[in-house]
């Protein structure tokens, strides 16, 4: 008797209200293969699926842009982790943003926090505008949202924490005003991941992610996702997902789903490392200011306490270094474990200078209003050992700020920390 004749009974997969995060991360959207019993789903590379008669596919799939088994399973997992009824995956975080903005009618208005990811800012100002969707940016959305709402306002866009200044927004406060006007609230949760924050639980209508970051977590997939509860929204966004076609491959969906299964472990380690580094930076004479919502000195600490799991600060932080832009650049070149690179949320630690890299496209004046000064360094903490990371930051600070000392005879000398 073959396996096909004797399908293996698969246990029911984790229903979301019953199980905790780690259990859901491992099991949600992860059925055993009903034919072979494989515990890990196969990668379904087929672009098309056979039909027994016209319009009658063998199973539920017809064509892989519309849906495929790996993307479906990944979407189920994201929905479970974000406490949502529905989730959709896209080919990047930016494609997710584009699909949501495309769902707005021409003439719509959006209110957005100022310090959004540079690519989001670019889409809002250079692409949405050409479809006659206008965006107003504000650095103080909790205070001035009521004044900024117009009859044609359809969406509020929040990044909390924001990129790269780690500012938090009280989602519930903004959502309760938006909802009085029938306006939807979108929260970009990329910096925290669903392990640390679930925006839908705080009143948001849509949560979006660059899956490229924490959810995949291994810096080897570019992907995005949106999760929400509304059926009408699901109908509209599913239509656009297929019509625009900015979808992830089956292989990327499978990889990102594999990454997601360890999200809780990675997010805990990254937070532990970031907390330790933020404290060390705060105590350093070479640092002007530290942006990290997990520090009691942060102006956003009280929001982190109520909005984040156990008040966790997440794995991202930024700081202003003494010595201006040159010191910021030198710092990023002097780290030995942290790699100078864009992106974030991977197992490996990264550093970058947003004013010259991820946010270079935003005019300086606008950047500085949002706190993105030339001396700002952004740090993505990975899951290496805490003490090694802290030592690396401290030695790089010493070299970047103190710089090479000129000895009495005019020759350049090392910094005296033995690490040159």
Ligand X SMILES: Cc1ncc(COP(=O)(O)O)c(C=O)c1O
Residues that bind ligand X (CB under 6 A): 92-94, 117, 119-120, 159, 163, 188, 190-191, 210, 212, 222, 224
Angle, vertex CA 100, rays to CA 96 and CA 102, nearest 5: 115
Q: Pick from 143, 80, 85: which is nearest to 114 by CA?
A: 143
Active site residue 268: no
Positive or negative torsion for Cα 379, 381, 384, 385 = positive
Nearer to ligand X, 222 or 277 (CB): 222
Is-contact 251 43, C-beta < 8 A?
Answer: yes
Active site residue 213: yes
**DSSP letter (8 states) at residue 192:** T
Is-contact 340 396, C-beta < 8 A?
Answer: no
CB of 183 to ligand X, least distance (A): 21
CB of 391 to ligand X, least distance (A): 27
Number of helices (H), then strands (E), in the chain: 14, 16
**Which residue's structure tokens are 């008669």?**
53
Nearer to ligand X, 188 or 392 (CB): 188
CB of 116 to ligand X, least distance (A): 7
Name the pairing type of β-strands 51-53 and 56-57: antiparallel
CA 125/CA 260 separation, integer angstroms = 32
Positive or negative torsion for Cα 102, 104, 107, 109 = negative
CA 275/CA 420 separation, integer angstroms = 27
Active site residue 367: no
End-to-end CA distance of the chain: 69
Residue whose Cβ sits closest to ligand X:
93
CB of 246 to ligand X, least distance (A): 10
CB of 344 to ligand X, least distance (A): 6
Nearer to ligand X, 174 or 397 (CB): 174
Nearer to ligand X, 347 or 391 (CB): 347
Region class of 94: left (phi > 0), else alpha (psi between -120 and 50), else beta = alpha
Of 117, 123, 195, 214, the active-site residue reads 117
CB of 144 to ligand X, least distance (A): 22
Nearer to ligand X, 161 or 323 (CB): 161
Of 170, 188, 375, 392, the active-site residue reads 188
Active site residue 188: yes
Of 33, 61, 65, 268, the active-site residue reads 65
Nearer to ligand X, 92 or 153 (CB): 92
Catalytically active residues, by annotation: 65, 117, 188, 213
């Amino acid at each position: 008797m073959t396996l096909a004749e004797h399908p293996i009974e698969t246990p029911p997969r984790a229903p979301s209200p019953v199980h905790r995060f780690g259990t859901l991360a491992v099991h949600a959207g992860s059925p055993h293969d009903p034919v072979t019993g494989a515990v890990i789903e196969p990668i379904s590379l087929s672009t098309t699926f056979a039909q027994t008669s016209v319009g009658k596919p063998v199973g539920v799939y017809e064509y892989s842009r519309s849906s495929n088994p790996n993307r479906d399973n990944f979407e189920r997992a994201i929905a479970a982790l974000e406490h949502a009824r529905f989730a959709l995956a896209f080919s990047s975080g930016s494609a997710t943003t584009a699909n949501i903005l495309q769902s707005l009618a021409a003439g719509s208005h959006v209110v957005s926090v100022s310090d959004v990811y540079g690519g989001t800012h670019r889409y809002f100002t250079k692409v949405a505008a050409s479809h006659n969707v206008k965006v107003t940016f504000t650095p103080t959305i909790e205070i001035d949202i009521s004044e900024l709402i117009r009859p044609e306002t359809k969406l509020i866009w929040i990044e909390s924490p924001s990129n790269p200044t780690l500012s938090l927004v009280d989602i519930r406060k903004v959502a309760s005003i938006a909802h009085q006007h029938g306006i939807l609230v979108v929260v970009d949760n990329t910096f925290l991941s669903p392990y640390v924050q679930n925006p839908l639980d705080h009143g948001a209508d849509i949560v979006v992610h660059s899956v490229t970051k924490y959810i995949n977590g291994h810096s080897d997939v570019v992907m995005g996702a949106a999760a929400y509860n509304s059926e009408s929204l699901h109908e509209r966004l599913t239509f656009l997902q297929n019509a625009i076609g900015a979808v992830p491959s089956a292989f990327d969906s499978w990889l990102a789903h594999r990454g997601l299964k360890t999200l809780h472990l990675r997010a805990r380690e990254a937070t532990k490392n970031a907390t330790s580094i933020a404290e060390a930076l705060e105590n350093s004479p070479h640092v002007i200011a530290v942006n990290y919502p997990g520090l009691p000195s942060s102006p956003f600490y009280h929001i982190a306490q109520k909005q984040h799991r156990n008040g966790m600060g997440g794995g991202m932080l930024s700081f202003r270094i003494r010595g201006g832009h040159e010191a910021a650049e030198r710092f990023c070149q002097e780290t030995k474990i942290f790699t100078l690179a864009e992106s974030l949320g991977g197992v490996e630690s990264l550093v970058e200078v947003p004013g010259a890299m991820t946010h270079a496209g935003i005019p300086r004046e606008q950047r500085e209003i949002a706190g993105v000064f030339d001396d700002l360094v952004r740090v993505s903490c990975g899951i290496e050992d805490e003490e090694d990371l802290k030592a690396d930051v401290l030695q790089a600070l010493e070299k970047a700020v103190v710089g090479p000392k000129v000895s009495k005879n005019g020759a350049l000398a090392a910094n005296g920390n033995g690490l040159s």
